Amino acid sequence: MNIAVMNWSVLVVLLSAQSLLAQEVLAPIAIWPATPPGRLAANGEEGDTTTEQSNKIAGMPLIRLGNVSKPTLTIYKPAEEKNSGAAVLICPGGAYRILAYDLEGTEVCQWLNSIGITAGLLKYRVPKADEDPRPIEALQDAQRAMAILRSRSADLAVDDKRIGVLGFSAGGHLSARLSTNYDTRAYEAIDETDRVSCRPDFAVLVYPAYLIHEDAEQELPVDAQTPPMFLTMAADDPVDADNVLQFSLTLKHAKVPVELHLYPSGGHGYGLRRTEAICTHWPDRAEQWMHSQGILQ
């Protein structure tokens, strides 16, 4: 192994341990006060579906959380002296079948806390129904979670005009849906929380999926009010880098500020785990972008 990569891995472990000591994790918040709207496709007990045959990322296993029927929002607060006032809703990926809950969830919360950002980890409903490639239930959960996060901004010492969304793979698609479908809820309002805006103030899409299909323009109605976006992907990603190329052009034509990082190689599903692949440096570029946008102050 490259010595620099090995040293970085050691540093990540040390930084993660330090961030765990510094951050505060609040009790999970139920997204819905009663039965969620839409369908429940879970056919078993919620839990990690990883097996001994499952692939590892950067030499480490990951949690593949399945059968989620009770969506929650878990808040990770940075140390008070580091708090920038910004917050991010995190949407893990997993093809709408499972959630890569640590790789694209808890590990992301630790990174965001380390740079002064409050993180809200969304555990949305999976798996999707077989006949529904892009389930409405996930959007319902995301809209409600964003409204909950914004409604609690004062208590969290967060600026309610600097709350964004960050998603990976299917979670990147969900983040794009949330960023373009905020005027109308995908469910009937149930309480005062649903009067709070669910529009993200910015979005970070990491190797997003499902952005190119025949109904994409209707499903993702980009306009001048769409929030600024940061997109990143590897050119050899089997999900197809055209997802970010075409979507970034759509954003550009609508005059939405967009920054795109297309790396030559690296594949799919690496989260924040640093390897020799240059695409795994995307968190550095995303942090710089957030500074340039005035999100990190």
Give the end-to-end CA distance of the chain in Å, rounded to a whole number: 37
241 domain residue, yes or no? yes
The number of beta carbons lying within 10 Å of the beta carbon of residue 135 is 22
**What does the pLDDT read at residue 68?**
97
For the chain, 297 residues long, the average pLDDT of each consecutive 10-residue run is: 41 46 86 93 92 94 97 97 98 97 98 98 94 93 98 98 98 98 96 97 98 93 98 98 98 98 98 97 98 95
The number of beta carbons lying within 10 Å of the beta carbon of residue 294 is 11
116 domain residue, yes or no? yes
297 domain residue, yes or no? no
**What does the pLDDT read at residue 17?**
47
163 domain residue, yes or no? yes
**What does the pLDDT read at residue 22?**
59
Domain of 134, in residue numbers: 3-292
Into how many domains does the chain fold?
1
**What does the pLDDT read at residue 257?**
98
User: The domain spanning residue 164 has which CATH number?
Assistant: 3.40.50.1820
**What does the pLDDT read at residue 23?**
80
Mean pLDDT of the chain: 93
186 domain residue, yes or no? yes
Contacts for 26 with CB less than 8 Å, ≥ 6 apart: 74, 75, 76, 77
Report the residue count for the chain: 297
